[in-house]
């Protein structure tokens, strides 16, 4: 009897070579993760991944970038974080502009792909992070919110949407070597350049 290959909860592709899911991975999801040939895991929350995922990382040489375990002292005093916006959000740990910036810069280096972005819930930190990435990719805010709510459902938080809306993409430092950028971001930059050229040509002909 064939066994089904089952992805982790809240698993989905984000862009080519970038995936998302909860960090609570059950043993039955390991065969699925093996098919992704992951190079890195980006963990946004302080908690360690589940034991089956840790075993997978150890056995396959996947590189774990655990940016969610940064101590509070590593975040500048003027850092904007969801935790500081609302102490009552007990399900939140700490997600700051600095953590999102570091994570996006990690994802924007194609040498880290395939990459799996995770948090303990698979909803909150990951949703905020992906929303900020979408903002960098030029998505309009309504589309970003729709995607966030699709994963969060009844657990969606207004403050997370606000965090995404206020995130400054100018904080992101892209690799100096454009060859390391993901092809899908190069395509986006090319589209922006073509749009600028069209507007310039239109202004000349008017």
- What are the catalytic residues? 119
For residues 27 and 153, give the distance between their C-alpha atoms in angstroms, rounded to a whole number: 26
Residue 41, number of CB atoms within 10 A of its CB: 26
Burial class (CB in 10 A: 0-12, 13-18, 19+), 191: exposed
What is the C-alpha end-to-end distance of the chain, expressed in Å? Answer: 70
Beta bridge partners of 64: 41
Dmax over Cα atoms in the chain, in whole Å? 70
CA pair distance 120, 16, nearest whole angstrom? 23
């Amino acid at each position: 009897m064939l066994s089904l290959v089952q992805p982790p909860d809240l698993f989905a592709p984000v862009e080519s070579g970038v995936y998302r899911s909860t960090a609570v991975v059950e043993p039955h999801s390991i065969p699925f993760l093996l098919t992704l040939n992951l190079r890195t895991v980006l963990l946004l929350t302080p908690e360690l991944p589940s034991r089956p995922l840790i075993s997978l990382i150890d056995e396959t040489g996947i590189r774990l970038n655990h940016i969610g375990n940064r101590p509070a002292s590593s975040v500048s005093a003027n850092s904007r974080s969801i935790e500081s916006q609302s102490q009552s959000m007990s399900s939140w740990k700490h997600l700051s502009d600095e953590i999102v910036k570091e994570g996006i810069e990690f994802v924007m280096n194609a040498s880290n792909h395939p990459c799996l972005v995770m948090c303990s819930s698979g909803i909150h930190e990951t949703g905020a992070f992906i929303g900020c990435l979408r903002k960098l990719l030029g998505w309009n805010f309504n589309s970003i919110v729709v995607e966030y709510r699709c994963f969060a459902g009844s657990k969606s938080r207004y403050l997370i949407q606000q965090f995404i809306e206020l995130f400054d993409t100018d904080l992101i430092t892209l690799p100096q070597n454009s060859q390391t950028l993901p092809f899908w971001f190069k395509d986006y930059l090319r589209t922006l350049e073509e749009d600028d050229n069209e507007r310039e040509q239109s202004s000349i002909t008017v």
